[in-house]
Amino acid sequence: MSDELIGGLEGSQKAFAGALDALGADEWGAATPCEGWTVRHLVAHLVDGDRMFRGLLVGERAGITAFPDVVPLEELEVDPAAVYRAAAREVLAEFRRPGVLERPFRFGGGEMPLSVGAQMRLVDLVGHSWDLERATGRAVALPDGAVERTLVFLRRTEGSIHRGPKGFAEAEPVPDGASPMEEIAAILGRSAGQ
């Protein structure tokens, strides 16, 4: 299970980075389905999440009690795709260390294994891949296994998803005949028309 999870995370990171590499300079300012966020804001959020989890994995943080602010956008001025790739590579290397996925971490008021943290990173990445696609019209070629794993996880945990400010919007109805990505987007508060 852990090899499959980490492999899915790695494949999704590579697909997302590849989509970022293809963006033109004008696309970084495109609005995303995330209220008030451009593509650059979206990438800053993913970088911040990767750095936050890396801090957990190396012992710089004991837990996550609040959702952090986004990294300064100035850091993403020159080569935002490179900044994303570096943060993704660093957190992935820490998730791959032997035994790390079984270690507990604090999140909100509870404790859970870091394998759930790795799954949370995958959910964030898959969900925001939808947002990037909507903002730019460019497909993110996520691995099928990562999409399916994310959907299973979300179906199982939908009631505990953080919603509201600094969280996901309320879930939308899942359209009949929805693809796995469309169902993921609906659970995460995106409507099919976004």
Predicted confidence (pLDDT) per residue in 156-183, tens digit: 987 777 767 667 778 889 888 999 999 9
**Looking at the domain assignment, is residue 105 inside a domain?**
yes
**Looking at the domain assignment, is residue 192 inside a domain?**
no
Q: 181: domain CATH number?
A: 1.20.120.450
Tell me the pTM. 0.90
**Looking at the domain assignment, is residue 120 inside a domain?**
yes
> What angle, 0 to 180 degrees and rounded to 10, lies between the N-to-C axes of helices 2-21 and 114-136?
30
How buried is 182 (Cβ within 10 angstroms: 0-12 exposed, 13-18 middle, 19+ buried)?
A: middle
**Looking at the domain assignment, is residue 193 inside a domain?**
no
**Looking at the domain assignment, is residue 194 inside a domain?**
no
**Looking at the domain assignment, is residue 138 inside a domain?**
yes
Domain boundaries, position 32: 2-187
pLDDT of residue 50: 92
- Per residue in 86-130, pLDDT (tens digit) is 999 999 999 999 998 998 887 767 788 889 889 999 999 999 999
Number of folded domains that form the chain: 1
